[in-house]
Structure 1
Amino acid sequence: MSSIRYTPATICAIATATGRGGVGVIRVSGRDLLPFAAALSGGKTITPRYALYTDFLAADGSAIDNGLLLYFPAPHSFTGEDVLELQGHGGPVVMRMLLSRCVELGARLAEPGEFSRRAFLNDKMDLAQAESVADLIDAASESAAKGALKSLKGAFSDEVHALVDGLITLRMLVEATLDFPEEDIDFLKAADATGKLEQLRQRLEKVRATARQGAILREGMHVVLVGQPNVGKSSLLNALAGDDVAIVTDIAGTTRDTVREEILLDGVPMHIIDTAGLRETEDVVELIGIERTWQAVERADLALVLVDSQEGVDEGLERILARLPTGLPLVFVFNKIDLTDGQPEQDTHNGHPSVYLSAKTQAGVDLLKARLLQMVGFSAGAEGVYLARARHMDAIGRAAEHLTLAATGWQQIEIFAEELRLAQNALSEITGEFSSDDLLGVIFSRFCIGK
């Protein structure tokens, strides 16, 4: 009936979110599900891809619920197998009863991501597209949702496939010369192998730049506020968040623990972490908060160094700066310009960007938001991005390294050919054409049940 490659047991799961709702959906996937559907509907005629209004029956013939039953025969379904969707009332009890009936009929409960995994294994989508299903569900902004949908429709995969096809063509050219070593260099020169390689490298860099934008949309950036007590860290957090999420007083040491808030800047998630003021103290509780501050700093992607514009950078702040991790990007924020008659502006301090603002009046806060987007490397209003994950960026990075080695060692044909092969394998990991079962297990285990 179908060309299914992957045919394990029938699985079932509640596909709608946990809780009460007007409609609840149970999804079933497996082989030859018409008898399964007949048992649920009391033997009614079922037409593929047409909704059947029916009672869903228990083993004794009594109705568990009523609603719509849809049947999608293999291979024309989400998973590539026979799929049933049972759309009933969205009460938790009735959903559990109907799910139990599906188990009675021979299905087992699906594992997280198992429907999407079957779709991948049955060639209904590649691995990057499968991951974008979860990304679309988890999207925290409109921009992230658009990027996830773009990946789901195959835009990212198409770019990767084009690069792989180009590498395959170049590899065929290079490896054909291995049988004629006395002519290989001249042949490669005549075929412009290095020119073709350079074109691939440039295209890969464009894909990398676009994917980096998508990775920012998906993952966001962890920004930690550091500085001495009473410089306005909590006030700045409130100004960035647009709400009073942190307690603000004139008493130094008010913040004794990390306070986390997620904000969106042009659709980019920013995980802002307010921390305890860093100073010498014997207060046990404050010491714990200071230790947590340093832990947050170690995990941060960017630090906003708060400075009281009335005091400037003093010895206490210099000690803090000396302890910050090497290579951590910094933005100096000179706060309280409302007390110095200063004007909002951007500048530099010791080679680092600086912004002059007032968290209290919010003058200059927009300048800081723009600087944050610039620091994260995100282009506001970018429409062409597709969401990318850390593993995608790692694979692209390794492919770029191999192409660089190929470019520098192209006159040694064996090395040239091997580096091209390794670059192709790295890119093929993105779409799942070259991947281990362990990797697949990790990826799909992070999906929600019913997907």
Structure 2
Amino acid sequence: MAMSSNLDPIIAIATAPGRGGIGVIRISGSGLRPWAEGLCGQPLKDRHAHFLRFVDRHGEIMDEGLALFFPGPHSYTGEDVLELQGHGGPAVLQRVLQDCLARGQAMGLRLAQPGEYTQRAFLNDRLDLAQAEAVADLIEASSLAAARSAMASLSGAFSAEIQVLSGAIVQLRTLVEATLDFPEEEIDFLEKYQAAERLRAVLEHLEQVLQTARSGLVLREGLHVVLAGQPNVGKSSLLNALAGDEIAIVTPIAGTTRDRVVQDIHIDGVPLHVVDTAGLRETDDPVERLGIARSWAEIARAQVIVHLQDARQPGDALDEAIVARLPAGTPVLNVFNKVDLLDDVARAAPGASVAARQAVAGGPVPGGPIEALAVSARTGEGLDALRTRLLQIAGRTPGSESPWLARARHVQALEAAQGHLQQAAAHAAHSDEVLDLFAEELRLAHEALGEITGEFSSDDLLGQIFSSFCIGK
């Protein structure tokens, strides 16, 4: 989306499509008051609700409702804003909208593009870029936890952290630039101003912000969890148990699931995109082979793999072959299902399976780099432990909340800033011989942080961000 001009007044229906009790039409532009008062047929008191009839340019009553005028810069967009609140029927809203467009043709009134109101709020310094993105995140929040964190971002909690980090870097930049400008002073910059210690403190703070941002990213986008394993180990039953509904077809016949089944669930406010896949095995059935290929494709892009096994037959050759093909670096939970079918002797025997011993112990059994958990999809045994572990992988603990939401670009910018600061720390080890390189890495780190709040942002980035908003916001 091209950057819009603040000179053009814009209009849009601000409420969601469909029928509703109330519908809102929002108009924003500079110097809007004379036109707004002419439209409403009376003077408009600032931030005051005026009850009136909406009369078209031919004198016919279209609707009745409220008109509110917000003078710039003390409005959402920073411009003059007129809101017309009437009945929420699509036909009546469109009628009022089209009449306003006809009346505003002379002054260039046009339909707003997606996100253009919030874009103008950003361009007029009413919001920074992270806060502007939080507007969309608040609207799209799929859980109470996400809504709270989005509101915290909109209120400036995330931006405040970035400003503290940027301020500390600016102080270092000021000192080092002064040293570079006056080399005759022969100041040992790194030692005199404790630059290395200051930089270390900034890096520690940045690491804390980065970890919180990663948690906020999971809260916003969710965690991609793939249930993998050989046929008839209970993947579909586990999906149904986690979802609390009969999402996937369950039968005793191995290979019932031929294609992936995706279900979005929430655990303590964190969205999980759980994928049930076809059982992994060698087969001559062309349809099943296609399903298995899709299963491996899902596994390749998983953020967490739940490798499900039958607790009665753990660790057989096929499961070992599956483990050997799992992607390196992806967290794997080795989950043993059907523990309810183990008898007491099998659970307590010295040679019992990992799942059986865990069921007796009532908690996870260390199993090397791949954790072991025991569950019963049929009775619910062990499901709470599985949910808790998935939350921990997502960077959360039960009952906790992320202080703010984050997006992938925020995490990438923080990681870039961290890399530049680490490089600056490496230059600092060479004393003042490389102060110019030290200063350059500080500048690059500062710019990376500025991309988050919009201090350093390209028009292409802004267009991409705001084009994803709904119309009217």
Change (3 A) 1:184 1:129: farther
Aligned partner of 1:75 in structure 2 is: 73
**1:79·1:119 contact (CA, 8 Å) conserved in 2?**
yes
**1:224-248 deviations in Å (ceiling 9; x for gaps):** 0000010000011011111111111
Aligned partner of 1:309 in structure 2 is: 311
Distance in 2 (alpha carbons) for counterparts of 1:359 and 1:349? 21
Secondary structure at the aligned position of 1:316 is classed as helix
**1:6·1:121 contact (CA, 8 Å) conserved in 2?**
no
**1:406·1:419 contact (CA, 8 Å) conserved in 2?**
yes
Aligned partner of 1:90 in structure 2 is: 88
Aligned partner of 2:240 in structure 1 is: 238
Matched, 1:403 2:411: no
Counterpart amino acid of residue 206 in structure 2? L
Pick which of 285-294 and 426-435 moved more: 285-294
**2:216·2:402 contact (CA, 8 Å) conserved in 1?**
no
Secondary structure at the aligned position of 2:248 is classed as coil
Q: Deviation at 1:167? A: 0.8
Q: Deviation at 1:383? A: 4.0
**2:176·2:189 contact (CA, 8 Å) conserved in 1?**
no
Distance in 1 (alpha carbons) for counterparts of 2:13 and 2:47? 20
**1:132·1:149 contact (CA, 8 Å) conserved in 2?**
yes
Secondary structure at the aligned position of 1:66 is classed as strand
Aligned partner of 2:34 in structure 1 is: 35
Distance in 2 (alpha carbons) for counterparts of 1:302 and 1:238? 18
Secondary structure at the aligned position of 1:439 is classed as helix
Secondary structure at the aligned position of 2:83 is classed as strand
Distance in 2 (alpha carbons) for counterparts of 1:57 and 1:294? 62
Distance in 2 (alpha carbons) for counterparts of 1:51 and 1:438? 39
**2:28·2:81 contact (CA, 8 Å) conserved in 1?**
yes
Matched, 1:442 2:464: yes
Distance in 1 (alpha carbons) for counterparts of 2:19 and 2:212? 40
Pick which of 154-163 and 32-41 moved more: 32-41
Distance in 2 (alpha carbons) for counterparts of 1:81 and 1:168? 32
Secondary structure at the aligned position of 1:348 is classed as coil
**1:132·1:387 contact (CA, 8 Å) conserved in 2?**
yes
Aligned partner of 1:376 in structure 2 is: 394
Distance in 2 (alpha carbons) for counterparts of 1:299 and 1:168? 39
Pick which of 187-196 and 424-433 moved more: 187-196
Distance in 1 (alpha carbons) for counterparts of 2:415 and 2:24? 41
Structure 1 runs not aligned, ≥5 long:
none
Aligned partner of 2:410 in structure 1 is: 392
Secondary structure at the aligned position of 2:403 is classed as coil
Of 260, 275, 278, the residue aligned with 2:277 is 275
Distance in 2 (alpha carbons) for counterparts of 1:265 and 1:449? 31
Pick which of 275-284 and 377-386 moved more: 377-386
1:242-257 superposed matches below 5 A: 242-257=244-259
Aligned partner of 1:177 in structure 2 is: 179
**1:236-264 deviations in Å (ceiling 9; x for gaps):** 10111111111111011111111111111
Distance in 2 (alpha carbons) for counterparts of 1:185 and 1:202? 27
Distance in 2 (alpha carbons) for counterparts of 1:119 and 1:155? 18
**1:16-46 deviations in Å (ceiling 9; x for gaps):** 11111100111111122223323432x2121
**1:63-97 deviations in Å (ceiling 9; x for gaps):** 11110011111111000011111100000111111
Of 415, 438, 450, the residue aligned with 1:428 is 450
Change (3 A) 1:287 1:266: same
1:101-120 superposed matches below 5 A: 101-106=99-104, 107-120=109-122
Change (3 A) 1:422 1:184: farther
Counterpart amino acid of residue 384 in structure 2? D
Secondary structure at the aligned position of 1:345 is classed as coil
Pick which of 221-230 and 285-294 moved more: 285-294
Aligned partner of 1:15 in structure 2 is: 14
Change (3 A) 1:287 1:185: farther
1:29-428 superposed matches below 5 A: 29-41=28-40, 43-106=41-104, 107-181=109-183, 186-341=188-343, 342=356, 343=359, 344-383=362-401, 385-410=403-428, 411=431, 412-428=434-450
**1:213·1:385 contact (CA, 8 Å) conserved in 2?**
no
Q: Deviation at 1:399? A: 0.5
Secondary structure at the aligned position of 2:457 is classed as coil
Q: Deviation at 1:326? A: 2.1
**2:157·2:403 contact (CA, 8 Å) conserved in 1?**
no
Q: Deviation at 1:381? A: 2.7
**1:223·1:303 contact (CA, 8 Å) conserved in 2?**
yes
Distance in 1 (alpha carbons) for counterparts of 2:376 and 2:134? 40
Distance in 1 (alpha carbons) for counterparts of 2:55 and 2:266? 47
**1:125-161 deviations in Å (ceiling 9; x for gaps):** 1000000000001111111111100010111111111
**1:227·1:277 contact (CA, 8 Å) conserved in 2?**
yes
**1:163·1:204 contact (CA, 8 Å) conserved in 2?**
yes
Secondary structure at the aligned position of 2:75 is classed as coil
Secondary structure at the aligned position of 2:418 is classed as helix
Secondary structure at the aligned position of 2:365 is classed as strand
Distance in 2 (alpha carbons) for counterparts of 1:164 and 1:443? 23
**2:215·2:394 contact (CA, 8 Å) conserved in 1?**
no
Counterpart amino acid of residue 64 in structure 1? M
Structure 2 runs not aligned, ≥5 long:
344-355
TM-score (norm 2): 0.91
Distance in 1 (alpha carbons) for counterparts of 2:186 and 2:259? 66
Distance in 2 (alpha carbons) for counterparts of 1:321 and 1:99? 60
Point out 4+ residue stretches in structure 1 off by more than 4 angstroms: 182-185
